């Protein structure tokens, strides 16, 4: 039932600091989200995932939690949160919390206590290891760069593990007490009416050995074979699901770093309802910003065929905006944005949308290192400085792997402050350099806008069993065209996507009697040419 709800309605993600600021401090907050619930309901949002709202020093923007039972004062109070859950329910919207339990913040009292006293039981909450003669315990590297081991202050040859920033020490999931703590945290929020959790880098929580890792691609951390998708991780998830999630009819969504399709599928066996992998984000090439249409097609098909309930996303707070990445900027970008949204709604699995994607927002034109807030970007800038790369190359690389581009304030209107914050106030991160048409208010009034199209295509998905629940079968086609059939209860839909920025010959369509349900091109082309980024959805009657 719960998985079906996700498949039918999809999930919309809010990055709270950039969604809506109610008090004018330049940072989004819970009251801001409350003020936009009617907007969210009006576009068809039913499952709302909110990036971390917990108390945090915000060194990794909330993915470093210092108190799992408190709301970050930056975002409001527990009363605000309770109201949010209730008000959302009134609109049939369920709240999904982010859950970050691979690591805590180094400010968390558990870690502080562990540092203060080696005898404390909290030492066992984390992963401390001795090195030898000034050498780290092993060669593992952190996803944010550099060694994954940080020296324990004041203790010779002792280190703690952090697969992310050094302010994010990894929890020790071999300790039953850690399991019990997390179980309690999940129960606490579910009792408040939270629907479920998006579990941050959940594929990495269990470390099965501390041997040296194999060195692989420069962009992937060393040591992954010892901590990605280990049997211990599956056991923990099965237990959590059975003991906390299932009795309350909730959902678990997993972010799975470093897994391939068979590994991902294993997480769907009484563990997660849906998941997302990372292959879809790989543009293949250090400097390549945009994905080749044929690579895009290839990775989509593999994850559709290999994973029974994939989470289909093209944007989130860690990625670049999809327009500019999967489709080219310029003349056809509005058709491109609509095509991508149609794709999300037509694929099998669970569609994920990220704030602003429904408007067709794009990356910043310019974002200097001084205007960046992301730890990954600042780490890369400082690392690359050592290689005497020319400044423009350094910035380009750091910007590509940095994560600021999707984190800009959401534009609700064209007035001063963009309806994100109060007029005259400065946002925490600069506004996008957008045209006056790209905001909620203007797009509401324009029948040909991305937003109006999004409403239509999402409502189609939500009302059509075939699109939300059906099987999928890909048909042979040109390498830049995606063509597939969805089928459910004897009914069939046919979907056709031109993934390229050029006109293409349309493949021969299946069925002798079919009717066009939706297309992103007005008036819909009926002939055998597909315009750049054109997509069509048909019902097949015979």
- The residues binding ligand GLC (CB under 6 A) are 60, 63, 100, 164, 200-201, 255, 317-318
Q: Of 372 and 519, which has the nearer Cβ to ligand GLC?
A: 372
Active-site entry in 60, 170, 204, 255: 255
The per-residue DSSP string of 294-317 comes to HHHHHHHHHHHHH-TTBEE-S--T
Q: Is the peptide bond before 523 cis (omega within 30 degrees of 0)?
A: yes
Shortest reach from residue 438's CB to ligand GLC, in Å: 25
The per-residue DSSP string of 57-114 comes to --TTTTSS-SEEEEE-TTT--HHHHHHHHHHHHHTT-EEEEEE--SB--TTSHHHHHH
Shortest reach from residue 143's CB to ligand GLC, in Å: 7
Tell me if residue 255 is catalytic. Answer: yes
Burial class (CB in 10 A: 0-12, 13-18, 19+), 175: middle
Shortest reach from residue 65's CB to ligand GLC, in Å: 9
Q: Of 175 and 319, which has the nearer Cβ to ligand GLC?
A: 319
Q: Please answer whether residues 432 and 361 qualify as being in contact, where contact means their C-beta atoms are separated by less than 8 angstroms.
A: yes
Shortest reach from residue 100's CB to ligand GLC, in Å: 5
Active-site entry in 80, 200, 405, 464: 200
Please state, in angstroms and rounded to a whole number, the distance separating the CA atoms of residues 339 and 142. Answer: 36
Residue 463 corresponds to which tokens in the numbers above? 């009302």
Shortest reach from residue 128's CB to ligand GLC, in Å: 20
Please state, in angstroms and rounded to a whole number, the distance separating the CA atoms of residues 223 and 2. Answer: 35
Q: What is the CA radius of gyration of the chain?
A: 23
Please state, in angstroms and rounded to a whole number, the distance separating the CA atoms of residues 406 and 477. Answer: 33
Shortest reach from residue 219's CB to ligand GLC, in Å: 14
3-state secondary structure 200-249: CCHHHCCCCCCCCCCCCCCCCCCCHHHHCCCHHHHHHHHHHHHHHHHHHC
Q: Of 278 and 488, which has the nearer Cβ to ligand GLC?
A: 278
- Enumerate the β-bridge partners of residue 491: 488
Q: Of 63 and 179, which has the nearer Cβ to ligand GLC?
A: 63
Q: Of 123 and 407, which has the nearer Cβ to ligand GLC?
A: 407
Q: Please answer whether residues 113 and 119 qualify as being in contact, where contact means their C-beta atoms are separated by less than 8 angstroms.
A: no
Q: Of 63 and 128, which has the nearer Cβ to ligand GLC?
A: 63
Please state, in angstroms and rounded to a whole number, the distance separating the CA atoms of residues 447 and 329. Answer: 21
Please state, in angstroms and rounded to a whole number, the distance separating the CA atoms of residues 66 and 57. Answer: 7
- In 3-state terms the chain splits into helix, strand, coil percentages (rounded to 5) of 35, 20, 50
Q: Please answer whether residues 267 and 241 qualify as being in contact, where contact means their C-beta atoms are separated by less than 8 angstroms.
A: no
Q: Of 318 and 464, which has the nearer Cβ to ligand GLC?
A: 318
Shortest reach from residue 255's CB to ligand GLC, in Å: 6
Q: Of 110 and 497, which has the nearer Cβ to ligand GLC?
A: 110
Q: Report the number of secondary-structure helices (H) and strands (E) in the chain.
A: 16, 20
Taking the CA atoms of residue 54, residue 55, residue 58 and residue 63 in that order, the dihedral angle to the nearest 10 degrees is: -40
Shortest reach from residue 493's CB to ligand GLC, in Å: 33
End-to-end CA distance of the chain: 31
Residue with smallest beta-carbon separation from ligand GLC: 63
Q: List Cβ neighbours of 361 (8 Å cut-off, separation of 6 or more).
A: 321, 323, 408, 411, 432, 434, 438
Shortest reach from residue 24's CB to ligand GLC, in Å: 26
Q: Of 317 and 492, which has the nearer Cβ to ligand GLC?
A: 317
Q: Of 64 and 534, which has the nearer Cβ to ligand GLC?
A: 64
Q: Please answer whether residues 522 and 448 qualify as being in contact, where contact means their C-beta atoms are separated by less than 8 angstroms.
A: yes
Shortest reach from residue 144's CB to ligand GLC, in Å: 8
Other CB atoms within 10 Å distance of the CB of residue 173: 22
Burial class (CB in 10 A: 0-12, 13-18, 19+), 90: exposed
Active-site residue set: 200, 255
């Amino acid at each position: 039932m719960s998985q079906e709800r996700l498949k039918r309605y999809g999930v919309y993600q809010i990055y709270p600091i950039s969604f809506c600021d109610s008090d004018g401090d330049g940072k989004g907050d819970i009251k801001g989200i409350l003020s936009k619930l009617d907007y969210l309901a009006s576009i068809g949002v039913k499952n709302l995932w909110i990036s971390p709202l917990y108390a945090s020093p915000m060194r990794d923007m909330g993915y470093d939690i210092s108190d799992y039972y408190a709301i970050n004062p930056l975002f409001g109070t527990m009363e605000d949160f309770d109201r949010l859950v209730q008000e959302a329910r009134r609109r049939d919207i369920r709240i999904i919390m982010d859950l970050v339990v691979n690591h805590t913040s180094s400010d968390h009292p558990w870690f502080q206590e562990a540092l203060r006293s080696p005898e404390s039981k909290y030492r066992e909450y984390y992963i401390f290891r001795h090195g030898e003669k000034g050498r780290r315990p092993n060669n593992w590297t952190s996803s944010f760069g550099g060694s994954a081991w940080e020296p324990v202050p004041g203790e010779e040859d002792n280190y703690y593990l952090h697969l992310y920033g050094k302010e994010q020490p990894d929890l020790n999931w071999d300790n039953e007490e850690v399991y019990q703590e997390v179980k309690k945290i999940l129960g606490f929020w579910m009792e408040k009416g939270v629907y479920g959790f998006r579990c941050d880098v959940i594929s990495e929580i269990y470390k099965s050995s501390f041997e040296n890792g194999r060195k692989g691609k420069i962009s992937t951390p060393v040591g992954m074979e010892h901590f990605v998708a280990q049997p211990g991780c599956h056991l923990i998830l099965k237990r959590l699901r059975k003991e906390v999630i299932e009795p309350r009819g909730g959902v678990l969504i997993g972010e799975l770093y470093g897994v391939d399709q068979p590994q991902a599928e294993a997480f769907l066996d009484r563990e997660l309802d849906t998941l997302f992998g990372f292959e879809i984000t790989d543009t293949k090439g250090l400097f390549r910003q945009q994905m080749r249409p044929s690579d895009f097609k290839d990775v989509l098909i593999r994850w559709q065929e290999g994973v029974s309930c994939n989470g289909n996303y093209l944007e989130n707070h860690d990625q670049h905006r999809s327009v500019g990445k999967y489709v080219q900027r310029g003349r056809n970008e509005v058709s491109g944005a609509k095509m991508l949204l149609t794709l999300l709604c037509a694929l099998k699995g669970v569609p994920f949308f990220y704030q602003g994607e429904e408007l067709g927002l794009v990356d910043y034109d310019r974002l200097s290192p001084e205007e960046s807030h992301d730890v990954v970007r600042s780490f890369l800038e400082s690392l690359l400085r050592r290689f005497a790369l020319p400044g423009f190359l350094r910035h380009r690389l750091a910007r590509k792997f940095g994560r600021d581009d999707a984190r800009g304030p959401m534009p609700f209107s064209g007035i001063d402050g963009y309806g994100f914050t109060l007029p005259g106030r400065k946002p925490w991160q600069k506004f996008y350099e957008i045209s006056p048409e790209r905001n909620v208010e203007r797009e509401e009034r324009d029948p040909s806008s991305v937003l109006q199209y999004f409403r239509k295509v999402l409502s189609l998905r939500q009302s059509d069993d075939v699109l939300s629940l059906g099987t999928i079968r890909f048909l042979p086609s040109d390498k830049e065209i995606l063509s597939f059939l969805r089928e459910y209860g004897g009914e069939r839909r046919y979907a056709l996507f031109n993934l390229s920025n050029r006109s293409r010959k349309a493949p021969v369509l299946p069925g002798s009697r079919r009717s066009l349900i939706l297309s992103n091109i007005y008036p819909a082309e009926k002939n055998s040419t597909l315009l750049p980024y054109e997509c069509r959805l048909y019902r097949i009657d015979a």
